[in-house]
Chain A
Amino acid sequence: MRLAPPGPRDPLKLAAAPLMPPGGRSREAIGLAAAAARGRFMLQVCGECELVQYPPRAVCGGCLGVGLRWREVPAGGALLARTIIRISVDPYFRTLTPWSIGTVQLDCGPQVVAHLHGDVAGRVRMTLKLDKAGQGVMLALPEQDTPDMHDDPAWRALTADPRGRRVLVTDGRTALGQAMARGMLAAGARAVFVGIAEPWRPFDGAGLRMAGIEAVALDVTDQDSVHRMAASLGGRVEICVNTALHLRPAGVLALDLGEARAAMEVNYLGALRLAQALGPAMRGRAADGEYAAVAWVNLISAHALAAPGGFGGAAAAQAAALALAQSLRPALRPLRVVNALIGPIDDEWHQALPPPKLAPAAIAAAVVRALCDGVEDLAVGDIAQDILARWADNPAILVRDVPG
């Protein structure tokens, strides 16, 4: 069923409240959310008897072994039974009925109850997605892609497709911001706004204007500017992508204090100002129709986790930005907070740095893909992926031996 394009909203109708599905989970079950955030289909597997577990638990359901490890498992399965929920006592699901759930026999062993894509029949592809409460839930997809499958209500409730939505890209002066704006437009965004700080400085916006991208005055270091932007756009932006970054290589001892402060002003305080001014307005519109406000995207250098010497001075502001980005998740739900770790960008500030460096368009493409797939945690490019993988493996070793 093809989704109708966004139409005018009845201004006299009360907007649907930004409700969330039940969010309580055991600590073990949060592993599902961690896997879903990365777009991976993972379950606990017993280290002793190899039994795949579901639901998540503390000890193996087969041998009572305690060595359960989260591992990627085969995602195939077969639909055993389908139930259509027409009446629910849960306020969130009441807004979604009729809603399909089903029992699926996973190829890897367990039987699970999953949300069902409307086109599911027989064999299925299982996915783990984050629901509006930020918890990991299973969504069964048809084994092969079907026409307009991304218009399915279950898919849309568990993803953040830019198509038909209005996107704010907070800094349009950089190649990254411009690539992001063009990427969102190519992904079907209904409107794209780019922030332009210090409008008195030269800015050739002709190319952006030709593409249909609108420049708005926005300087994340200026409280008043952020509030004026939020007053103008808070009611008409569904995705915010914060590209206002101050990313420049700098060691610790030679770091200019003005430079350090500028990095903190933009990367941490700028993001904080944006979140405080625009976040509540977007969050309040998180259930406002088919094209409701849906996502907040932070771009953070992977050096927030650990940085080589030449980036040590710049890393503190990135660590602050990462801490903020993680705190934004519970604060902004049911908005999806996407945190993309990136490596050094191929820009004028990294001229002396050898490859690999990230092309702005590659970052934009990765963010669009994450939104479309409902992914919240991603690392873009070789350096960020390497740092993240080694951080997950052993942070104590990583901080003593950072690549780059």
Chain B
Amino acid sequence: MLNTAVRSSSSSAFQTVAAAFGAMLLGAFILFGVGFAQPQTIHDAAHDGRHSFAFPCH
């Protein structure tokens, strides 16, 4: 009984950490693409947004 409770609580903690880090990783990836990636098409498309959000643009 105790063993199961401990196991399920630790697996739930693992799920929480995994979901949180997954979200943060995905967020960082998207932010890098919109705010920092340099290929010309991405830069041009995001240009006004980058300037408005004060990312270093060019």
Partners in one complex: no
